[in-house]
Amino acid sequence: MGNTSSMLTQYDIEEVQEHCNHAFSQQEIVSLYHRFCQLDRNSSGFITGDEFLSVPEFAVNPLSQRLLRMLDGLNFKEFVAFLSAFSPRISLQQKIEFLFKVYDFNSNGKVTFDDILSVLRDLTGSFISEQQRQEVITRVLEEAGYRRDSSLVLSDFMRILGSSQLKMEVEVPID
Amino acid sequence: MNQRVGTDSSPLRFAACESASIPLFATFIGARRRAPPARTHRQIGSQLVGRRILAAMGGLDSSSMETDLDRPNIEEYLTTETIREVPKKLHLSDLLDISPTLTEAAGAIVDDSFTRCFKSNSPEPWNWNIYLFPLWCLGVVVRYGILFPASFSWLVSLSNLISCMFCRVGVLALGWIVFFAAFLPVHFLIRGHDKWRRKIERKLVEMMCSVFVASWTGVIKYHGPRPSRRPQQVFVANHTSMIDFIILEQMTAFAVIMQKHPGWVGFIQKTILESVGCIWFNRTESKDREVVATKIREHTQGVDNNPLLIFPEGTCVNNHYTVMFKKGAFELGCAVCPVAIKYNKIFVDAFWNSKKQSFTTHLAQLMTSWAVVCDVWYLEPQYIRPGEIPIEFAERVRDMISVRAGLKKVPWDGYLKYFRPSPKLTERKQQIFAESVLKRLEEK
């Protein structure tokens, strides 16, 4: 794909577009490529964790470590596929699928109580005690009809979040 | 466009948005993502309120180093709206919906205001057609072959010296010869008459800077009253490259505060700049701050010292943006005279991207371009207003400089180029989120 060169051919763009299910327009893909090259300082073909963390806005995000694990070692095509969940052209179902992947830490297709606890821990830090966190999650799980030891699969997520007004969109600047 | 979702938007998500949108300034300026714009206006309006709340809460110790890094973004969260929101009951869907935080992260990956500050201009190729290409070739020949002759053989013969006199390196070399011929005797021989010695050295440094400027064919327009030598004043300017100092020094001999550099630059710093009075600092040493602050204070109080020039951004920025000013220069209790510098990008991109090129390469690049054209504005001296904290004072001066030079303001600390953001920032976001969760939990 020639990540080290600074020129994208039309074939490359179309290949990337296919891979991300046309989530981005061709211009947006070119923009994303410039951004990728800008972040990938040593032109290694992928962006290291350190290079991501050099963006202060990303580094202060509580979920940055979790996302870094998902972003680690991605080449440009996969990078665009990762970001495709944030495109306005993508359906709600696909966004929920992305959300599920963030929760499903060990990628076994199931989100357990511990997974939800882990994300909540990232988001709240030391400002809620561990006990309170567990209490919160248990309470809302039970209220939604699940037990503490039940694990959620993708269809559960679809059901829970399907009717919510999930807004997860990012605009790619075209210059 | 407005992503606020109707009247039954869950406050939890709203609170998450509050904590997640960092910094809203960036959203406002150009890091484009679909964050609720309505909040942005309120945010900017309540910024000062936020600062007062912060100061009143005494949340962060303002004298610790970390706070400088924290400072730009904390206020953004502390809007009074979050406190007044009526919390609704917490549901599983609310807990699982982490989309605002994820959107923030993705937005930062796609575009962020901090990286934009340090982007060099990519030279746009204008020469790719039959008419312009030969012209461009001619330009290269003139710039590299005549303006910057590669040979330094001016030592060999006088005739070479004369021919080189019309060339930039020649000018520079000649300038150095004259400078050292005058400076060294003055510095070492005239021991008793310090005042005279200082005066001569000052003039010599000014002359050397003029030679430097001439060697890049600098066309510099100065606006406003020239700086005067008085105690109890300090000059602040925006920072694009080390040549900022040379440009300003040409007009007035300033004392400056600089990071110690290696190589020949360090040598010049040690020998010549000592004579105009310079203060050294080291970015990587944390205790350095107090030492430097004391030195600055002493300097401004001395009657005979050269006026002190400080670049409060602390790092080079690409002359399209300004990053946060460090408050060190603004808590001295003396007059602060802002200076705005704007380079004309048509002729050369004067931004010194210290991560990409050494100073020597940067100078060489300047010397092989057509000209360095810039405007320097000396603005009205400012004093701290009663009830204003140094941070607000710094922001006010940054406003003045940014407006004058046509630069956009960005609420990031320049030192984030070298250091990671303080974990306190993340903790703040976590705290807000945690509080809203707990509050909603109470609701039945």
Nearest chain A CA: its distance from B443 CA (Å): 12
Which residue from B3, B26, B108 is facing A167, i.e. has the nearest CB?
A: B3
Nearest CA in chain A to B120: A38
Nearest CA in chain B to A52: B109
Nearest chain A CA: its distance from B122 CA (Å): 12
Q: Ramachandran region of residue A21, left (φ > 0), alpha (ψ -120 to 50) or beta?
A: left
Nearest CA in chain B to A104: B96
Q: Which amino acid is at B297?
A: R
Q: Is residue B399 scored above 90 in pLDDT? A: yes
Nearest chain B CA: its distance from A13 CA (Å): 17
Is residue B438 less than 8 Å (CB to CB) from chain A? yes
Residue B132 or residue B55, greater confidence: B132
Q: What is the mean pLDDT of chain B?
A: 71
A61·B20 Cβ contact <8 A: yes
pLDDT at position B286: 67
Report phi then psi at B332, rounded to 5. -95, -10
Nearest chain A CA: its distance from B149 CA (Å): 32
Q: Is residue B36 scored above 70 in pLDDT? A: no
What number is the average pLDDT over the span B414-440? 85
Task: Say which range, B32-36, B125-129, B270-274, has the weakest mean pLDDT.
Answer: B32-36
Is residue B225 less than 8 Å (CB to CB) from chain A? no
A13's CB contacts (< 8 A; 6+ apart) are A26, A29, A30
pLDDT at position B186: 74
Residues of A in contact with B7 (CB under 8 A): none
Residue B171 or residue B387, greater confidence: B387
Residues of B in contact with A144 (CB under 8 A): 91-92
Q: Is residue B121 scored above 70 in pLDDT? A: no
Is residue B105 less than 8 Å (CB to CB) from chain A? yes
Nearest chain A CA: its distance from B68 CA (Å): 14
pLDDT at position B42: 37
Locate B110 and state its tokens: 């796609």
| Interface probe, candidates B111, B121, B355, B431, chain A, greatest A C-beta count within 10 A | B111
Task: Say which range, A123-127, A155-159, B17-21, has the weakest mean pLDDT.
Answer: B17-21
pLDDT at position A84: 93
What number is the average pLDDT over the span B90-109? 87
pLDDT at position A1: 41
Q: Is residue A48 scored above 80 in pLDDT? A: yes
Q: Is residue B218 scored above 70 in pLDDT? A: yes
Residue B54 or residue B399, greater confidence: B399
Task: Say which range, A7-11, A21-25, B65-69, has the weakest mean pLDDT.
Answer: B65-69
Is residue A166 less than 8 Å (CB to CB) from chain B? yes
Q: Which B residues 121-180 touch A at CB under 8 Å?
A: none
Q: Which amino acid is at A64?
A: S
A136·B95 Cβ contact <8 A: yes
Is residue A126 less than 8 Å (CB to CB) from chain B? yes
d(CA A10, CA A13): 5
pLDDT at position B53: 39
CB A17 within 8 A of CB A24: yes
Which residue from B9, B101, B109 is facing A62, i.e. has the nearest CB?
A: B101
Q: How many other C-beta atoms can be found within 10 angstroms of the C-beta atom of residue B83?
A: 10
Burial class from Cβ neighbours inside 10 Å (0-12, 13-18, 19+) for residue B395 reads buried
Q: How would residue B109 be classed by pLDDT, with cut points 50, 70 and 90?
A: very high
Q: Is residue A140 scored above 80 in pLDDT? A: yes
Nearest CA in chain A to B89: A140
Q: Which B residues 8-67 touch A at CB under 8 Å?
A: 9, 16, 20, 22-23, 26, 30-34
pLDDT at position A15: 92
Nearest chain B CA: its distance from A83 CA (Å): 7
Q: How would residue B167 be classed by pLDDT, with cut points 50, 70 and 90?
A: low
Nearest CA in chain B to A158: B93
Residues of A in contact with B100 (CB under 8 A): 167
Length of chain A equals: 175
Task: Say which range, A146-160, B119-133, B335-349, has the weakest mean pLDDT.
Answer: B119-133
What number is the average pLDDT over the span B88-97? 81
Q: How would residue B86 be classed by pLDDT, with cut points 50, 70 and 90?
A: low
d(CA B197, CA B299): 19
Q: Is residue B24 scored above 90 in pLDDT? A: no
A–B interface: beta-carbon pairs under 8 A:
180
Task: Say which range, B16-30, B127-141, B212-226, has the weakest mean pLDDT.
Answer: B16-30
A56·B96 Cβ contact <8 A: no
- CA B198, B204, B207, B213 torsion: positive or negative? negative
Q: How would residue B154 be classed by pLDDT, with cut points 50, 70 and 90?
A: very low
The fraction of chain A above a pLDDT of 90, given in percent, is 31
d(CA B328, CA B281): 13
pLDDT at position A32: 92
Report the Cα A113 to chain-centroid distance in Å: 20
pLDDT at position B340: 94
pLDDT at position B307: 86
Residue B170 or residue A129, greater confidence: A129
Q: How would residue B29 be classed by pLDDT, with cut points 50, 70 and 90?
A: very low
B108·A137 Cβ contact <8 A: no
What are the b/e assignments for B342-378, b being 16+ CB within 10 Å? bbeeebbbbbbebeeeebeebbeebbebeebbbbbbb
Is residue A56 less than 8 Å (CB to CB) from chain B? yes
Locate B378 and state its tokens: 């000396």
What number is the average pLDDT over the span A40-49? 87
The structure's pTM equals: 0.68
Residues of B in contact with A98 (CB under 8 A): 102
B202's CB contacts (< 8 A; 6+ apart) are B253, B275, B276, B306
Q: Is residue B35 scored above 70 in pLDDT? A: no
The fraction of chain B above a pLDDT of 90, given in percent, is 10
- Nearest to residue A132, comparing CAs of B10, B440, B97, B88? B440
Beta strands in B269-334 (DSSP E): 278-281, 308-310, 321-324
Interface predicted TM-score of the whole assembly (ipTM), two decimals: 0.90
Please name the residue ranges forming H helices in B111-156.
Answer: 113-116, 132-140
- Nearest to residue A38, comparing CAs of B120, B416, B59, B32? B120
Which residue from A57, A136, A172 is facing B441, i.e. has the nearest CB?
A: A136
Q: How would residue B124 be classed by pLDDT, with cut points 50, 70 and 90?
A: low
**Which pLDDT tens digit goes with each residue over B303-326?**
777 888 999 998 889 889 999 998
Which residue from A63, A144, A166 is facing B105, i.e. has the nearest CB?
A: A63
Residue B233 or residue B89, greater confidence: B233
Is residue B357 less than 8 Å (CB to CB) from chain A? no
